[in-house]
Amino acid sequence: MTKGGALARIGADIGGTFTDVVLETPDRRHTTKVLTTHDAPERALLDGIAILLAQANLRPEDVGLIVHGTTLATNALIERRGVRTGLLTTEGFRDVLDLGSESRFDQYDITMDKPSPLVSRGLRRTVPERIAADGGVLLPLDPSAVRSAADFFAAEGVESVAIAFLHSYVNPGHERMAADILREKMPDLSISLSCEVSPEMREYERFSTTAANAYVQPIVARYLARLDDALHDLGFRCPLYLMLSSGGLTTVDTAVRFPVRLVESGPAGGAIFAAAIAAERQIDKMLAFDMGGTTAKICFIDHGKPQTSHSFEVARMHRFRKGSGLPLRIPVVEMVEIGAGGGSIARRDALGRIVVGPRSAGSEPGPACYGRGGGNPTVTDADLLLGRIDPTAFAGGLMTLDRSRAETVVGGLGNAGADSRIPALGISEIVDETMASAARVHAVEQGTAVDQRTMVAFGGAAPLHAARVAEKLGISQVIIPRSAGVGSAVGFLLAPIAYEVARSFHQCVGQIEIDALNGLLAAMSEEAHDLVSRGAPGVPRSETRIAYARYRGQGYEIPIAVPARPLDRADEVVLRDRFEATYRAQYGSVIAGLDIEILTWRVSVSARRTTARSSAAPVEPRAFEVTLRHSVLDPASGRTMAFAVVRRDDLHPGDHLAGPALVVEDETTTVVSPAFDLDVDGHGCLVLSLRAGGKGEEP
């Protein structure tokens, strides 16, 4: 069948535990969830694609676009499973990664520890060289020192090296020279340069970002090369795009060079998915709760738009406090991510308290109940024992879960011979409390409140835990959209094909070199249009230009819009006015008589996507008749209750039933706790509403 033609599009999200694949044709959406294959992640992805092509009766050449995101890089950083990485740096600066900002992220907690660097001190080598703040060479690079560093890295079995020299953002010469020497001595070495990964002032953030890039690069590069080849061999001829942490899309080439920018790709897809739901349902204040097998992500979406930021912290270790993770200077959707997912491993700490995560059993071996050799108790094992998951219907019946294995390992956390559901309840409560606490902390950091928000829950494990987390946060409405189990992959297909080019060009407003600037902006614009038009031929494009400006002498810039056309002298007044208006809006007042300087220029080009917005028909509420009930242990009351069990396929718009209930679908199960009622709205979303008087535990 070729009628669907190249209009079929595939979104694929590889998570730490599951690989989610979505195939959309103009008529319908097919979805599937397969276990992630860590040794070769493309295998699961290709399997998933094959399943969906068969379902839709399509061939590879019928597919017009594949958009892919992966948490491969994130999980490697969180679980410290990257390659053996070295750092080559300026003599005298071996410990930039250890020193960080020389500060404590918690003022009063004397037991806090700083995050340990990705590259241990033993693998950090320094070489004589020094660039000054103005780019001048104070000490030439010593090539022989670089060669001996190469010998050292080779002897140590280092697979990837980050090169990070002081002031390389103004003069990258030494870094490039060192890279050439290393490459000559070690042709297979993966090399990340700080002047390319994060060409911005402030050494700790730049070194940290570059180290992270190096730490994951070989893993991502090998993987993408294999995937590209495999897709080609199978007959796919469409473009393959990668989802970026910023919510935009990029090419394979760019992704291989800067894998650190893929770090939050899955979650970014989730944020786009949630934002589409917020826009469709006109929800002003949303909390997007995305819980997969390995991590949970919380993102606030105001007025249908996720917040973005230019820096991010990955792998926060200490009660999710800001500063306890590794800083990355990359464009990213603003969110908090913690090591809490279905595969998170539970244990008892020195004080005998149950602790869940951040270590995850992933998909291999996976939770004990998968019966694939996993010997540690996980959140999924606990969910199974509590009766929330039907062991025969997991992942659409793809695998049968082994209850007795779950009992053995979870029971091991409790008293010998006692009911294994008690420690299971403990695991569930701790992981839910952990996620609620992360949401509260993030809200404070963002200066916003959580309790008046509508929660949208997606990702394989979120619908199992959403109601309880909402109770803890004082949230009274939870929405479980269609395709919730594969939300990020759906989001990928909603992302615009976009490309952003940034260049440093220091100018003072009032004395702008107009011709030089116009030339630069035109070249940037051409580069971006070219890349976007190749990915979205014939689609109308929009362009925005941004300048990052500040008063001379300040340390931080604010973005101001620049007209997307050649500038003339009169535009300097426009830029000044826009700067002052933005500054006033942000900080309340302006400073008269000070020079305004612009450091960075960004040009973004985006292909406009026409999203079919279906407005839902109004529905008549009617009570759904429950025929099956199942014993489930409820954490809020600690009692076993008879939960209604319904198939999501059997529910239709307008259906209403009172909690407690379990709604089972192929990719996940929604727990409707006793405090909530369930309605199915016109979009087919499950809407959980806190019953009047049924308010859960206070936050």
- Residue from 59, 114, 318, 629 in contact with another protein (CB under 8 A): 114
Q: Which stretch binds another protein (CB under 8 A): 126-134, 172-180, 311-319, 671-679?
A: 126-134
Look-up of token digits 């907690």: 109
Query: Which positions from 657 to 696 touch another protein by CB under 8 A, shown as an x/- string?
Result: ----------------------------------------
Identify which of residues 107 and 627 has a Cβ nearer to another protein in the complex: 107
DSSP string, 559-584: EEEE-SS---TTHHHHHHHHHHHHHH
Q: Residues 6, 54, 137, 138: which binds another protein (CB under 8 A)?
A: 138
Long-range contacts of 90-95 (CB under 8 A, 24+ apart): 90/126, 90/127, 90/129, 90/130, 90/165, 90/166, 91/126, 91/127, 91/128, 91/129, 91/130, 92/126, 93/126, 93/166, 93/203, 94/121, 94/124, 94/125, 94/126, 95/121, 95/124
130: contact with another protein by CB under 8 A: yes
Interacting span for another protein (CB under 8 A) from 71-79, 129-137, 527-535, 659-667: 129-137
Provide, rounded to whole angstroms, the least separation between the CB of residue 438 and another protein: 15
The one-letter code for the residue type at 542 is S
Report how far residue 410's alpha carbon sits from residue 345's, in angstroms, rounded to the nearest whole number. 10
> Which position among 9, 30, 33, 167 is part of the footprint of another protein (CB under 8 A)?
167
- Residue in 43, 81, 104, 222 binding another protein, rule: CB under 8 A: 104
Q: Does 99 bind another protein (CB under 8 A)?
A: yes
148-185: b or e for each residue (b if 16 or more CB lie within 10 Å)?
ebbeebeeeebbbbbbbbbbbbbbbbbbbbbbebbeeb
Which ranges constitute the DSSP H helices of 100-141? none
* Torsion-angle region of 196 (φ positive above 0: left; ψ -120 to 50: alpha; else: beta): alpha
Question: Could you tell me the CA-to-CA distances from 324 to 96, 318, 459, 676 in Å, in that order?
Answer: 16, 6, 26, 36
DSSP for 348-371 reads E-TTS-EEEEEEE-TTTT-SGGGT
Q: Which of residues 519-578 bind another protein (CB under 8 A)?
A: 551, 553-556
581 interacts with another protein by CB under 8 A: no
Q: 396: which DSSP letter? A: G
Q: How far is the CB of 144 from another protein (least distance, A)?
A: 20
CB-nearer residue toward another protein: 225 or 594: 594
Interface with another protein, residue 636, by CB under 8 A:
no
Query: CB 106 → another protein: shortest distance, Å?
Result: 8
Q: Give whichever of 450 and 662 is closer to another protein, judged by the CB atom.
A: 450
CA angle 590, 591, 597 (to 5 degrees): 95
By the rule CB under 8 A, 698 interacts with another protein: yes
Is 132 a binding residue for another protein by CB under 8 A? The answer is yes
What 8-state DSSP symbol labels residue 378?
B
Cβ closest to another protein, residue 103 vs residue 392? 103
Binds another protein (CB under 8 A): choice among 27, 122, 155, 416: 122
Work out whether 225 is an interface residue with another protein (CB under 8 A): no
- List contacts with another protein (CB under 8 A): 91-96, 98-99, 101-104, 106-111, 113-114, 120-122, 130, 132-133, 138, 166-167, 201-204, 440, 443-449, 451, 474, 551, 553-556, 587-589, 591, 594, 698-699
